[in-house]
Amino acid sequence: MKIYHNPRCSKSRKGLQYLEDKGCKFEIVKYLEQGLNEEELTALIAKTGKKPFDFVRQHEKDYKEQYKGKVLSDEEWIKVLVENPKLLHRPIVVNGDKAVLGNPPENIDEIL
């Protein structure tokens, strides 16, 4: 199991704590430090069954200033998220071939 985590984000910390409280063994991926390429992010989002735009943090200043109102393809949103990883919703938790957005943390139960 993996958690794509931003330690400075309270929602991400809550997801991490949720996994710890459940006694799960997992790897922490600090995606802001390590980065994600287009292939990795595409595969990760595909495991959730959602669209890339579902992972865009629309309340972020960068989104509002640069992308709000734009109609982009899934591939273009993937590029935006790779180039601007702070726009990526977090945490994302992966267990095998399934993944969920761990906000709220109870979503994680879907893949345990």
Q: Enumerate the active-site residues.
A: 9
Q: What gap in Å lies between CA 61 and CA 68, rounded to an integer?
A: 10
C-alpha torsion sign, points 23, 24, 25, 31: negative
Sheet harboring 92-95: ordered strands across? 27-29, 2-4, 92-95, 98-101
